[in-house]
Structure 1
Amino acid sequence: MTQPLWQKAGIQIDAKIMRFLAGDDVLLDREFFLHDITASKAHVEGLANIGVVSTDEAAALKRELDALAEDFTSGAFLLDERYEDGHSAIEARLTERLGDAGRRVHTGRSRNDQILVATRLWLKDKLAALEAHCRAIAEACLERASQEAVPMPGYTHLQRAVVSSTAMWFAGFAEGFIDNVLRARQTMTLIDANPLGTAAGYGVNMKLDREHTTRALGFARMQISPIYAQLSRGKFEMAVLEAIGGALLDLRRLAWDLSLFTTAEFNFVRLPAEYTTGSSIMPNKRNPDVIELLRASYASVAAARTEIEQLLSLPSGYQRDLQFSKGSLFHGVRHGLGALELVPDLLARLEWNAGAMRAAIEPAMYATDVAIEQAAAGVPFRDAYRAAAETAASAGQGRTPEGSLAARVSPGAGNDLRLDELRVRLRELDG
């Protein structure tokens, strides 16, 4: 390992302690490394603006940072156990290539604001991916809802309740994922703040050009207080995980429905073959494994959020405990986004079994229609309710699922889905 940035003369480093301190940092930092390089370029420009490095030094540093990014992307440079972490690797590379100019790159910053800004840039990318996935799911749902309105049972308490339709099912999840797009957008507004230039949490005695780095890195605003910059670590990561988790909670309910609907007992849905797997012992089986893992995916995100939350039992100022937040953040975000990415294609290609769904609509499921019609004709609702309950077994006489859905004219119901309104709502979130 290269000599740590913090190494002092006369102090021997114990290898076991060093391994514990470094942990998986250098491996995890591969995920954030390109963002760390991008932030380093902006920092160099800021140092040049206040005369800490010359114009020529700044040009050379930026050239070498670009070369490092290219080498890392191509595999010519490997971020590995030679380095304590990604920050050390950047400084070591610049010093090796540029000598004293490379040693100046760390002026006015700490590894604390380095990881803050690299993580913040990474989180912004992941929120953009979350928004795109949720948008694609919403669009897939709206498209299917507009194509077909196959009658199916609607359930409460997992018991057959009223007549519903595939269009209503899709419309419900469409609106949910439109809200998830909104939540991703709102979370982006929260975290879109530049912490670079806050150093170890108390600022530095030079007039850093933080306005420049804020603009150069594409942040909406500067995170002004150095102390708050440290307090926001973990808080902002949890906000992103909560946004992903909210989408996965909707996905969990969708996956639960499909898990039930694909059983022989329901037989409502046939999944694309790619979303099923075979049994290792039972030749007759095709299992909805992808659906089951989509259903389980929220657990990984919730676990990541909980781990970070537990780490935040801290006073103000930087504490090394927060190093452990990187692994849980990375794994939770990667797993959550990976699950959501699979959903649009699944929804576009699943097939409904119209015959099985119609057969599951029993006469008593029209009882609510009977009660509402009587109430609309002037019968007090509780009287209409009791009368419909007494005759529920024959409530379907002369009725069809299509007729029930056509009569359902309350906003959002079977005959007034308002899909165009949902599309407008989604379009308004563009940009």
Structure 2
Amino acid sequence: MKLWGGRFKNAESKLMEDFNSSLSFDKTLYYEDIIGSIAHVKMLVKCEIISEEDGNKIIEGLDSILKDIEEGKLKIEGDYEDIHSFMEVNLIERIGDAGKKMHTARSRNDQVALDMRLYSKKRAQEVVENLSRLLGTIKTLAEKNDYIMPGYTHMQRAQVVTFKHHMMAYFNMFSRDKKRIENSIEIMDESPLGCCALAGTTYNTDRAFTAKELGFKGPVNNFLDGVSDRDYIIELTSDFSLAMMHLSRLSEEIIIWSTKEFDFIQLSDEFSTGSSIMPQKKNPDAAELIRGKAGRVYGDLVSILTTMKGLPLAYNKDMQEDKEGFFDALNTVLSCIKIMNGMLATLKVKKDSLLKAVKHGFLNATEAADYLVNKGMAFRDAHRVIGEIVLYCEEKSLPIEDLSIEQLKEFSGLFDKDIYEFIDYENTLHKGIKKHMR
């Protein structure tokens, strides 16, 4: 059954029915559709547009539908165009003609816009809560493993940092992701209910009432924008894409660190898999899947941007394409955050491997150059001298700190015994950043 058809002479083709139907995916919005309709009906009664008796019948009918859906007694399936027609038809079957009054002073345009805002707002808050858990896990992992390790640029060992400081860089990234999503929720927190198709209604409705009833800070202030705005979906999907990029970067490091070549960490069996042919293998599949799924969320973002870029005001059926991509991006980022949280909560950091990597990386070379500068040498000259020392050390398979003072003086007479304290790895964690690392 359809909610339209009076002006049509011929029946819609079955091919068009299937092509036009969105029930297979917008059934996800059943809860939002029901609570939105209940708020709308309460407003209709308050404004004396329908009787209190009819309003109570409709609300009781909607409550019974919600109960039956959640208990599995009513399946959301069948020959319906969308979740809205499913609800209205089932309501009328339950309570009779009173159900036909539910849609008074409302369009499917503001109805679907409302459903999506309610759903997006609720699920985005779920992402925020999971990011908060991930932030707590990162902080705990960092605090427990405050060991020196190599810091890298160009994937080459550069200077000494700590595992704690390295992980707290990701803490900052995910903190920004959390703030971005919270900001998106704040911006989208307006109700489109009452905009109707695009120009409001001749009924004397109370949009402020329904906005408050549904937990919005107020109604939208432009009807055309209210029914055609999908900025919040684009913004949230963009936020999810950034979070996925950060998750992917961390996954890449986890993958590298868990190799025998690095051997910085050990992943738990819970978040690893094996090989069907090589019994020695322990694969970081959880991290690899997160890294792979980042591209999927990027695709969802490009899809909605492309859908919206050429649409005139107000509502167009193209906007039906906003849901599947958003649902996918949302579910993907949520599952990836949860998996990352589990991986980090169970991995072990190998302190000795980190220290070994530090000692074989000439990570105190910059400090050795600074030592010569402090003794009066120009930095560019100091840079050259230390470069020559590194070359010499590579040939001798020695770290800089193991050279004797006599060997160092062959490169510059400015070296003295205080060089060893100056380039000690613990001391190279400069006072300016050391307190932030620790």
Same fold (TM over 0.5): yes
Distance 1:87 1:383 in 2: 75
The aligned length equals 412
Distance 1:82 1:401 in 2: 78
Alignment of 1:225 onto 2:244:
no
Kindly tell me: are residues 104 and 378 of structure 1, through their superposed partners in 2, closer, same or farther at Cα, counting changes over 3 Å? farther
Kindly tell me: are residues 402 and 321 of structure 1, through their superposed partners in 2, closer, same or farther at Cα, counting changes over 3 Å? farther
Contact 2:273 2:285 in 1 (8 A): yes
Residue 202 of structure 1 aligns to a residue in which SS? coil
Contact 2:162 2:437 in 1 (8 A): no
Spell out, residue by residue over 1:267-299, the C-alpha distance to the aligned partner (whole angstroms, 9 max, x if none). Answer: 111101011112223222221111100111211
> Structure 1 residue 229: deviation in Å?
1.3
Report the equivalent of 1:382. Answer: 380
Alignment of 1:76 onto 2:73:
yes
CA RMSD of aligned residues (A): 2.1
Alignment of 1:404 onto 2:425:
yes
Letter in 1 for 2:425: S
> Structure 1 residue 365: deviation in Å?
1.4
Spell out, residue by residue over 1:328-367, the C-alpha distance to the aligned partner (whole angstroms, 9 max, x if none). Answer: 1111211111111222222121111222222222252111
Match of 1:293 among 275, 289, 292: 289
Listed as ranges, the gaps of 5+ residues in structure 1 are 420-431
Distance 1:124 1:418 in 2: 36
> Structure 1 residue 407: deviation in Å?
4.0
Kindly tell me: are residues 402 and 396 of structure 1, through their superposed partners in 2, closer, same or farther at Cα, counting changes over 3 Å? closer
Contact 1:408 1:416 in 2 (8 A): no
Deviating more after overlay: 376-385 vs 363-372: 376-385
> Structure 1 residue 408: deviation in Å?
2.4
Spell out, residue by residue over 1:202-224, the C-alpha distance to the aligned partner (whole angstroms, 9 max, x if none). Answer: 21111221101110111123111
Kindly tell me: are residues 144 and 402 of structure 1, through their superposed partners in 2, closer, same or farther at Cα, counting changes over 3 Å? farther
Kindly tell me: are residues 108 and 399 of structure 1, through their superposed partners in 2, closer, same or farther at Cα, counting changes over 3 Å? farther
Kindly tell me: are residues 40 and 363 of structure 1, through their superposed partners in 2, closer, same or farther at Cα, counting changes over 3 Å? closer
Match of 1:314 among 291, 311, 316: 311
Kindly tell me: are residues 333 and 410 of structure 1, through their superposed partners in 2, closer, same or farther at Cα, counting changes over 3 Å? farther
Kindly tell me: are residues 225 and 266 of structure 1, through their superposed partners in 2, closer, same or farther at Cα, counting changes over 3 Å? same
Distance 2:296 2:421 in 1: 44
Letter in 2 for 1:252: S
Distance 2:345 2:81 in 1: 46
Spell out, residue by residue over 1:376-403, the C-alpha distance to the aligned partner (whole angstroms, 9 max, x if none). Answer: 5665443433333332345334769994
Letter in 1 for 2:245: L
Distance 1:363 1:281 in 2: 36
Report the equivalent of 1:30. Answer: 27
Distance 2:431 2:182 in 1: 30
The correspondence of residues 20-419 of structure 1 with structure 2, limited to 5 A, is 20-22=19-21, 25-233=22-230, 235-312=231-308, 313-361=310-358, 362-375=360-373, 379-392=377-390, 393=393, 395-397=400-402, 403-409=424-430, 413=433, 415-417=434-436
> Structure 1 residue 252: deviation in Å?
0.7
Report the equivalent of 1:422. Answer: none
Task: State TM-score, norm by structure 1.
Answer: 0.90
> Structure 1 residue 319: deviation in Å?
0.9
Kindly tell me: are residues 91 and 353 of structure 1, through their superposed partners in 2, closer, same or farther at Cα, counting changes over 3 Å? same
Task: State TM-score, norm by structure 2.
Answer: 0.89
Residue 79 of structure 1 aligns to a residue in which SS? coil
Contact 1:151 1:163 in 2 (8 A): yes
Spell out, residue by residue over 1:137-192, the C-alpha distance to the aligned partner (whole angstroms, 9 max, x if none). Answer: 11111112222212221111111111222111211111111111111111111111
